[in-house]
Amino acid sequence: MKNQNKLSRREFIKITALSAGTLTISAGGLSLIEGCSGPHKSGRFFLSDDEYHLIESVAEQIIPTDEWPGGKDTRIADFIDIQLAGPYRRFQQVYRKGIAAIEDTCLNKFHTIFKDLAWDVQTEFLQEMETGTLSGDNWKDGFSGKFFELLRSHSLQGFYGSPRHGGNKDFTSYKMIGLDEVQTLGQNRYGIQ
């Protein structure tokens, strides 16, 4: 009687594989229903390569490199990418809209994409964006200021947060402000070193 309720190893593997396949299909279908894509071929969680590079350039403007690594080298774009696929999922459409608006505006105004603009031009663009005064259909109702504030907030979170969430590579901000590295990091769900 005891052995009737036990699963063989082969049956367990079949059930596990079927469950995993069902979850994968469901997750893929859900992301399409929500209007968001699944993982990209680049290995990123949410952002495409072009979107990632734009976020990386913006993060470097928000936290520029000086004697300490800035937004790019501390992997703030990784933090934002990971969080948009998880806890910040509610901001996915805002990021899609905002990134497209930045690139569209840059192409129309400067004939190139944001990451290829000169440093000073990027700075001026972001200053205008912050004021909420960028014009055009993409920026109605002060969207530029709202999106800039979201980018700034998420960049600061990525820079000052724990590296286990994708940013703050090598505990840069902790070292910068004189904090000890946290010895117990807990679960590293993203496999980030």
Range of 12's domain? 1-33
Judgement on whether residues 169 and 136 belong to the same structural domain of the protein = yes
- Would you state the pLDDT for residue 6? 58
Residue 26 has pLDDT above 80, yes or no: no
- Is residue 186 in a domain? no
Residue identified by tokens 């400067």 is 110
- Is residue 184 in a domain? no
Please give the Cα distance from 171 to 180 (Å, whole number).
9
- Is residue 182 in a domain? no
Judgement on whether residues 25 and 89 belong to the same structural domain of the protein = no
Q: Which of 178, 160, 185, 183 is nearest to 59 (CA)?
A: 160
Q: What is the largest CA-CA distance in the chain?
A: 77
- Is residue 193 in a domain? no
- Would you state the pLDDT for residue 187? 60
Judgement on whether residues 123 and 168 belong to the same structural domain of the protein = yes
Judgement on whether residues 91 and 11 belong to the same structural domain of the protein = no
125-174: pLDDT as tens digits: 999 999 998 988 899 999 999 999 999 999 999 888 887 888 766 777 77
Residue 11 has pLDDT above 70, yes or no: no
Judgement on whether residues 6 and 98 belong to the same structural domain of the protein = no
- Is residue 84 in a domain? yes
CB 110 within 8 A of CB 117: yes
Judgement on whether residues 51 and 100 belong to the same structural domain of the protein = yes
Judgement on whether residues 119 and 162 belong to the same structural domain of the protein = yes
Judgement on whether residues 128 and 80 belong to the same structural domain of the protein = yes
Q: Residue 4 burial (CB < 10 Å; 0-12/13-18/19+)? A: exposed
- Would you state the pLDDT for residue 105? 96
Number of domains in the chain: 2
Residue 18 has pLDDT above 50, yes or no: no
- Residue 4 — pLDDT band, cuts 50, 70, 90? low
- Would you state the pLDDT for residue 189? 58
- Is residue 17 in a domain? yes
Q: Which of 79, 73, 72 is nearest to 53 (CA)?
A: 72
62-120: pLDDT as tens digits: 989 889 888 888 898 999 999 999 999 999 999 999 999 999 999 999 999 999 999 99
Judgement on whether residues 27 and 87 belong to the same structural domain of the protein = no
Judgement on whether residues 94 and 4 belong to the same structural domain of the protein = no
Residue 13 has pLDDT above 80, yes or no: no
- What is the residue type of 98? G
3-state SS string for 9-39: HHHHHHHHHHHHHHHHHHHHHHHHHCCCCCC
Residue 39 has pLDDT above 90, yes or no: no
- Would you state the pLDDT for residue 68? 85
Instruction: Kindly report the pTM of this predicted structure.
Output: 0.71
Q: Residue 128 burial (CB < 10 Å; 0-12/13-18/19+)? A: middle
**Eight-class DSSP state of 113:** -
The count of residues in the chain is: 193
Judgement on whether residues 20 and 71 belong to the same structural domain of the protein = no
Judgement on whether residues 68 and 151 belong to the same structural domain of the protein = yes
Structure tokens, 176:
């910068």
- Would you state the pLDDT for residue 95? 97
